[in-house]
Amino acid sequence: MSPKEVLAYAKENKVKMVDIRFVDFPGVWQHFSVPIEELDEGSFENGFGFDGSSIRGWRSINESDMLVIPDPETATIDPFFEVPTLAIIGNIVDPVTREKYARDPRYIAQKAEEYLKFTGIGDTAYFGPEAEFFIFNDIRFDTDSNLSFYFVDSDEGIWNSGREESPNLGYKPRYKEGYFPVPPTDTFQDIRTEMVLEMQKVGIYVECQHHEVATAGQAEIDMRFAPLLKMGDQLMWFKYIIKNVARRHNLTATFMPKPLFGDNGSGMHTHVSIWKDGQPTFAGDKYAGISENALFAIGGVLKHAKALCAFTNPTTNSYKRLVPGYEAPVNLAYSSRNRSAAIRIPMYSPSPKAKRLEVRFPDPSCNGYMAFSALLMAVLDGIENRIDPGEPLDKDIYSLSPEELKDVGSTPGSLEEALDALENDYEFLLKGDVFTEEVIKAWISYKRENEIDPIKLRPHPYEFMLYYDI
C-alpha cells in the first residue's frame, strides 16, 4: 500500500489508534501507539521520535534521539486490541543525518536482499522457517543472590500422569511421543487452529499446524515460504500471535529452545532457495536433483556454520538443544531426506520449484531478520567462491562410530564458542555492507556482557545436587 492507501484503509476500518512497531537488537518487538489523527502522508517521511538509549543494544544516553519511519507496505489491523488499531512496522533512522541505523535488524535484511540482486546470482531469496514452540499452563522462575529456580508445568505433561485432577483422564503424550496422535491426546488442536486463523487475518499463508515430538504442548505451525524481508516481518507477527492467543486462553507460549530436560527442544528448520527471473536456481542434475549453485551454497553454509550459530542459535539455552548424540543435528554434513544432517535436501516433490536447502540447526530464539540475512550471506559466499561441500552423508549420523565421524565438523558447544567463531569468521557478512564491523562487534559484546557473563557468575541449581555434600 501507498501512504494514501494506508490512510484510506484506516478510515475504512474505523481505526482509532496506530501502533508503530520495530524490532530491537535481540529480536523482540517494541511498540508505541498514537491516535489516528497523528498519522498523515508526511508521517511516512518524517517518522516518529523515540528514545533509542532505552532499546537493548542500541544508542548511548548522549545520542538517544532516534526516528522510526513507518513502512506503508506493512500496515494491517491488529487482531488483539480492543480498540480498532492499525499496526505498522517501521525502519529506524538517525534524526540528524537521516541515515538508516546500522543496528536496525530490518535494515540488515533490506541490505541482504539488495546485495543478492547486486551479485546477479538471483533476485529473490525465499525463506521458510519451521519455528517450534511450547504451550504451557504455568511458568515460574526467579534468581537472586541466595536462590535460583524455574518451574514449568503443563496439564498435558506426562509427569502429571499421576496427579490428582478429579479426575485425571490420562491421554498425556509420553516423552518423545507427541508427534502426532489425534485428540484427546493432542489437547491443543483448537488453539493451534485459532492461531492459524489469526495469522491469516494479517496476511500470513499457513501450510499446516500440528503437535510436535515433545510432551507438554510442543507445537509447530508452518508458514509458506516468502522473501527474506517479508519473512522477517512475518516471523515477528508469528511469535506475537502465538503468544497472544495462548494468553487469551490463560496459557503461556515460549520459543525458548530447551525449556524441558529429557525431551526434544524447539528448533527452527529453515528452508532456503534463490530464484532469478521467476525461476528456481537450486534445481538441477546434481546430487538429489539440485544445481551446482545449490551445492556451492551448501558449502558456504557448512564452512561458516560455527559463526552462523551466533545468529541462528543466539542464546545460552540454544546449546542445551545442540548437544551431540541427541535429537538436534549438530554434525555439519548434508544429505537428502536424512534428518540427522545439519543440511537436508527435502525430497517431497519432484518439482524444480520445490528444490531448496533445509538448514536444520537454527532455533526460534533468533532474530529472524539477522539470522536469515546471515544464512543468505553464507549461501552467496559459497556460490561466489565455489565452495565444495564434499560428499553427502546419507547414513544415520547418530549411529556412526567416532572413527567415521572424525572428519565431520560439529556446531559449537556453547554460545561463547559460537561468538568466538564469529569473531574469527565474519568477512563474508561484510560484503555489500550488509553487516558492518560495528554491528558484529556490538552483537558479540552485547551477548557476552548481558547473557554469557551473568550465566557464568551464578550457581546452577543442579550444582547443588552434585556438590552440596562435598
Distance CA 383, CA 377 (A): 10
Task: Give the residue numbers annotated as catalytic, written as ranges.
Answer: 51, 130, 132, 212, 220, 269, 339, 358, 360
Burial (CB count <10 Å: 0-12, 13-18, 19+), residue 30: middle
Half-sphere exposure of 203 (CA within 13 A, CB side): 13
- Looking at residue 56, what is its pLDDT? 86
pLDDT tens-digit map of 282-333:
999 999 899 999 999 999 999 999 999 999 999 999 999 998 766 778 889 9
Percent of the chain with pLDDT over 70: 98
Distance CA 448, CA 55 (A): 17
Q: Is residue 62 pLDDT above 70, yes or no?
A: no
Report which secondary-structure segment, H or E, holds 303.
Answer: helix 292-312
pLDDT tens-digit map of 71-128:
999 999 999 999 999 999 999 999 889 999 999 999 999 999 999 999 999 999 999 9
Distance CA 1, CA 309 (A): 36
Average of per-residue pLDDT values in the chain: 94
Q: Is residue 9 pLDDT above 80, yes or no?
A: yes
Q: Is residue 61 pLDDT above 60, yes or no?
A: no
CA angle 338, 112, 428 (to 5 degrees): 70
pLDDT tens-digit map of 345-363:
988 777 888 899 999 999 9
Q: Is residue 254 pLDDT above 70, yes or no?
A: yes
- Looking at residue 59, what is its pLDDT? 66
Mark 184-195 as b/e (b = at least 16 C-beta within 10 Å).
Answer: ebbbbeebbebb
- 258-273: average pLDDT: 95
Report which secondary-structure segment, H or E, holds 6.
Answer: helix 3-12
- Looking at residue 395, what is its pLDDT? 76
Q: Name every residue whose Cβ is closer than 8 Å to that of residue 312 and which is 6 or more positions away in sequence.
A: 268, 270, 359, 361, 362, 363, 366, 371, 374, 375
- Looking at residue 400, what is its pLDDT? 74
- Looking at residue 200, what is its pLDDT? 97
Residue with the bigger pLDDT between 187 and 395: it is: 187
CA angle 258, 262, 267 (to 5 degrees): 35
The CA-atom distances, in angstroms, between 222 and each of 120, 206, 209, 210, 373 are 30, 6, 6, 9, 20
Strand 331-332 and strand 334-336: the pairing is unpaired
- Looking at residue 181, what is its pLDDT? 93
Distance CA 236, CA 22 (A): 10
Q: Is residue 250 pLDDT above 70, yes or no?
A: yes
pLDDT tens-digit map of 119-168:
999 999 999 999 999 999 999 999 999 999 999 999 999 999 999 999 99
Percent of the chain with pLDDT over 90: 85
Strand 343-345 and strand 357-359: the pairing is antiparallel
Q: Is residue 336 pLDDT above 90, yes or no?
A: no
